[in-house]
Structure formats: C-alpha cells, structure tokens
Amino acid sequence: MYCDNATNFVGAERKLRDLREAFLAQKEEILQYAADEGFIFAFIPPRAPHFGGLWEAAVKSAKHLLGRAIGNALLTAEEIPTLLVEVEAVLKSRPLAPLSNNPKDGEALAPAHPLIGSPLRALPPEKVPDNLSRFLER
C-alpha cells in the first residue's frame, strides 16, 4: 500500500500496525492468515505530493470538479453525498483507451467498465429543476 507521507497517514499506519498485533495475538487462524498475506506500508517522501503520481492527479481532478460544482453555494446534508457520487461518476467515466481499433466506434474503456460494464454517465436534464437554480446564480 503506497501512501502520502502526511502525519495522518503515518499515524494511521501506526494504528493499523497496533491493530494487526492485537488481532495476531488473539487467534492462531488470524496469525496464519496475516503471516501468509501480510501488508507493508511504503511512504513517499515528506512534502512531495508530486511523487504520488496518478492518485494525486485523481485528487486534483476531484477537487477541481467539486470546486466548480459547489462554487459559493452552501450545500445541505443530502446534497453533499449526491455531489460526491456525481463527481465519482464523472471520474470513472473518463476514457482510458479505445475499446476497438475502429475509429468510428465512439466507445472507450473507462474505469467504471470493470464495475458495471459501461461508463457511469447520464445525459444532463433539459430543464434545470427550480430547486437547483441557486447553483446557476454566480
């Protein structure tokens, strides 16, 4: 598992190590499984997010989409998870590679393909519902 070297991740690794030791001390089955599977934390250098590569790019894309969608609006408790799911759908629908060599085939492989067999996309509504018009006022 590769992690950012931020203090919260270093602390999480310490907590996971302590939790692992507690589980290993309780049952022989868990001890055998942990010995067979095991896990290792590898950290990128401190204050070097550019070493994070792809996952840092994904974080940047998610933050950009969230910022553009929210703007200055105050979201309700129901709107926040909805927005996060929609941002996830956009990120998992981005094309990775063409599905065929035919240039007229418009389909592309997206991260959502292994999950559901197609991209997670929907056409935008023709008319914006009245309760969402506050997001358009900027």
* Tens digit of pLDDT at every position of the chain (138 positions): 666 666 667 777 888 888 878 766 776 776 566 667 775 555 677 777 777 777 788 888 999 999 999 988 898 999 999 999 889 888 888 888 888 888 777 778 888 888 787 777 655 556 666 666 666 654
pTM, full prediction: 0.51
Q: State both tokens at 132.
A: 């969402």
**In the chain, what's the furthest Cα-to-Cα distance?**
61
Integer-rounded Cα radius of gyration of the chain: 21
Q: Can you give the pLDDT at residue 104?
A: 79
Q: Can you give the pLDDT at residue 119?
A: 74
How far is the C-alpha of 131 from the C-alpha of 127, rounded, in Å?
12
Contact predicate 113/119, CB 8 Å:
yes
Q: Where are the domains of the chain?
A: 2-49, 53-98+107-135
